[in-house]
Amino acid sequence: MSLAPGWYRDPADPTTQRWWDGEGWVGDPLPADVTPPPGPPPEASPGGAREPQVPAVPGHPGAAETPIPPPEPSRPDREVPPGWPYHRSPAAAPQLPARPHGLAPAPLGHRLLARLIDIGMVFLLNVVLNGWFVYQYWLEVAPFVREATRRSLAGEDLADLPAISDDAGTYQLVILILAAALWFAYEVPSVANTGQTLGKRLLRIKVVRLESTEPLGFGRSIRRWNTQGLPVLLWWCFGIGFLLQLLDALFVLIDQPLRQALHDKSAFTAVVSLPADPPEETPE
């Protein structure tokens, strides 16, 4: 999309405004709160020098290499160029679309069911690859648990219970690291390439970028997973990891209009419903 020539806030310095001639910035800047002249500045002659477009914003997931200037604040109906950073000046910040790429946000029930399916798949992977470590951990803590249970039921003093060996802590750490690694391997590649895990595919929902229809890619998929997956490593610490994950998941109940979880916000993504497949036509 190309913007019509006019005075716009300078993305490099939101406190100023400059003349955009349709291809680049020309002329000297003016303060943002000053009423500009009705036309271009004197320097903006047809043969005048034109400055290059503003540089990309480092680190922004959707930034183009040479983004064009923002739409006029007085024209909220004007489409925002793809990749324009959301954290620029408030007057130039675009509103999030209620239907990214024309697709409605996925119903919360579908998202929950898809997540339960994915949890079940990751659990099965853990049974196969993490089961031995879980069994060894139980052997280490079983004497303590059995004796504590027996004394509690008999009303006896719980002092001087059998000590839990240091090996139990090692097994616990290995279990959590392996569980996080299995979840990472299950979810990150599939979301990066197709936007769908098995659960999302069955429920016909998909993770999409906010600014384009391109696949997420591994960088964006990892950023999205980090917020929800890394807290697994804190499960041992008084359940702090679980509480962080619960807060992340429940954020969809209050977020509007896209019903984003915190991991969606960190990656600039949304979960949307896919349209139903058109019915197949039968030959006459």
Q: Residue 129 CB: number of other CB atoms within 10 A? A: 13
Residue 76's pLDDT is what?
43
Those residues with Cβ within 8 angstroms of residue 204's Cβ, 6 or more apart along the chain or in another chain: 110, 273, 274, 276
Those residues with Cβ within 8 angstroms of residue 245's Cβ, 6 or more apart along the chain or in another chain: 228, 231, 232
Task: Please answer whether residues 50 and 20 qualify as being in contact, where contact means their C-beta atoms are separated by less than 8 angstroms.
Answer: no
Mean pLDDT value across residues 157-170: 87
Mean pLDDT value across residues 118-137: 95
Q: Is 178 exposed, middle or buried (0-12, 13-18, 19+ CB in 10 A)?
A: middle
Q: Is 47 exposed, middle or buried (0-12, 13-18, 19+ CB in 10 A)?
A: exposed
pLDDT (tens digit per residue) in 259-273: 999 999 999 999 999
Residue 94's pLDDT is what?
47
Mean pLDDT value across residues 59-77: 45
Residue 113's pLDDT is what?
97
pLDDT (tens digit per residue) in 223-247: 999 999 999 988 888 789 989 999 9
State the Cα–Cα distance between residues 104 and 4, nearest whole angstrom.
31
CA angle 209, 215, 216 (to 5 degrees): 60
Most confident range, picked from 59-63, 101-105, 181-185, 276-280? 181-185
pLDDT (tens digit per residue) in 87-124: 444 444 445 566 778 889 999 999 999 999 999 999 99
Model pTM above 0.85: no
Those residues with Cβ within 8 angstroms of residue 154's Cβ, 6 or more apart along the chain or in another chain: none
